[in-house]
């Protein structure tokens, strides 16, 4: 083995490395435009800066949160020249809490940003725009969130319990005892939650707390070790005071403290009630969820003699309303426990024209026996990574109409390329404002066979 020469110094190809920017450094910047996540973009000395809380055209001072070779993540500290679009953030935690990143934009401007993000993705990736843009589906600007996960962490050094939400671009917890986007029934619980948890004799065992408002209020407590008897009594008294169910999540699945408790959510226009357990996926915005289902039914227009396919069916959010209009619904989900719960929801609502199947939806559909008979229409509501394998040969199912509900415009646009290749055209598209005060974009698109 050759002897190492300690005196040699090697330089990376391409010249000297730019000096690292330390966390906490402040920098004056001119914001050029907005990124797709609502952060301001600036360019300085070969680096791209993404700044939380900044708007296009502004002169600001930013504080560095994270820095990489060519990308710097930062947040606004001072504004020297404000955009005409800026408004005072309604929440005192804006800029530190990572939950609501665009409160400094008026709601109408938030909707315009989301519309632009969807249009740009469809144009850039798929080279298309819909024949018709649908109006945004909107609900309340605040007080919309019926489910929330509250971060809890014991600080052993400081001997204190942190309760709140994650900070922007950080694992730090911002102490919060009120949240403007929670539905009103959850706000008193949130306001008194930190003080209650700090009464625990063993706060070290706490993981997180989940709040839910549906047919009943519910408080789930994740714990990493058995709760002390005294601490459990504190929890039970707190939930009694707020008329909320107590759910505990230790080993295994979350369990209700009272096994006889029932928890769920209503789809009122269709007189449906779906059972729900903390940890299940549910749309957090009940008003927009209702409008979304109604629009999907209108666009898909299932007829009484048609067979309809619902992919990524979850608890039956779309499948059950569809079953009230179509002859038969086949509902497919990749998570086995969701299939079981969705089937139970159909039975409890006296809907017997739905078949539920557990299928790996990351694979093509043609090998599935339930696909052989074909469908008149298809609805799919995939996760953020989209439904690429599902849509690759979806035209072989024979569906003339397809409604795609998306929580990521980038994967919607990618999958649209496949649908266009198979002879579908993009008839209609629009945004769903499921998460006001954030830059998160949900969308719905109607494809029709040519």
Active site residues: 407
Segments in 186-285 forming alpha helices (H): 187-197, 229-241
Segments in 226-351 forming alpha helices (H): 229-241, 286-300, 319-323, 336-348
**416, two tokens:** 């649209």
Alpha carbon distance 216, 214 (integer Å): 5
Number of residues written out for the chain: 450
Alpha carbon distance 399, 53 (integer Å): 44
Segments in 49-186 forming alpha helices (H): 107-121
Q: Which residues pair with 60 in a beta bridge?
A: 29, 79
Using CA atoms, how far residue 176 sits from 186, 227, 238, 384, 438, in Å, is 14, 24, 18, 28, 18
Closest CA to 407 of 425, 388, 434: 434
Closest CA to 373 of 405, 327, 427, 342: 327
Does residue 266 contact residue 255 with C-beta atoms inside 8 Å? no
């Amino acid at each position: 083995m050759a002897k190492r020469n300690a005196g040699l110094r090697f330089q990376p190809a391409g010249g000297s490395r730019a000096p690292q920017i330390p966390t906490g450094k402040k920098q004056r910047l001119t914001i050029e435009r907005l990124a797709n996540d609502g952060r301001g973009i600036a360019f300085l000395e070969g680096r791209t800066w993404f700044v939380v809380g900044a708007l296009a055209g502004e002169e600001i001072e930013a504080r560095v949160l994270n820095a990489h070779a060519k990308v710097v993540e930062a947040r606004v500290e001072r504004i020297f020249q404000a955009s005409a679009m800026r408004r005072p953030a309604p929440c005192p935690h804006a800029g530190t809490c990572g939950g609501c990143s665009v409160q400094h934009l008026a709601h109408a401007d938030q909707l315009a940003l989301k519309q632009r993000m969807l249009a740009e993705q469809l144009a850039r990736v798929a080279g298309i725009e819909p024949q018709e843009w649908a109006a945004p589906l909107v609900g309340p600007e605040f007080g919309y969130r019926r489910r929330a996960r509250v971060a809890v962490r014991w600080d052993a050094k400081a001997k204190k319990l942190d309760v709140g939400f994650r900070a922007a671009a950080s694992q730090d917890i911002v102490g919060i005892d009120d949240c403007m986007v929670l539905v009103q029934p959850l706000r008193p619980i949130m306001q008194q939650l930190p003080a209650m948890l700090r009464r625990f004799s063993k706060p070290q065992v706490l993981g997180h707390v989940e709040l839910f408002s549906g047919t009943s209020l519910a408080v789930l407590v994740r714990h990493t070790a058995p709760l002390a008897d005294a601490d459990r009594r504190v929890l039970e008294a707190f939930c009694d005071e707020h008329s909320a169910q107590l759910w505990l999540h230790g080993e295994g699945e979350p369990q209700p403290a009272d096994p006889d408790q029932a928890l769920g959510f209503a789809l009122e226009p269709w007189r449906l009630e779906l059972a729900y357990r903390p940890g299940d996926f549910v749309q957090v915005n009940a008003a927009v969820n209702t409008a979304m289902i109604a629009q999907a039914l209108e666009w898909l227009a299932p007829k009484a003699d048609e067979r309809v396919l619902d992919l990524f069916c979850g608890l039956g959010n779309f499948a059950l309303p569809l079953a009230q209009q179509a002859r038969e619904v086949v509902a497919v989900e990749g998570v086995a426990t969701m299939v079981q719960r969705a089937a139970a929801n159909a039975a409890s609502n006296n809907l017997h024209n739905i078949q539920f199947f557990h299928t790996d939806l990351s694979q093509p559909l043609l090998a599935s026996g339930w696909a052989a008979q074909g469908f008149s229409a298809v609805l799919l509501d995939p996760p953020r990574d989209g439904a690429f394998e599902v849509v690759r040969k979806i035209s072989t199912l024979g569906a003339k109409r397809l409604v795609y509900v998306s929580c990521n415009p980038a994967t919607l646009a990618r999958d649209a390329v496949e649908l266009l290749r198979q002879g579908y055209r993009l008839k209609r598209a629009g945004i769903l404002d499921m998460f006001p005060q954030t830059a998160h974009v949900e969308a719905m698109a109607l494809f029709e066979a040519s």
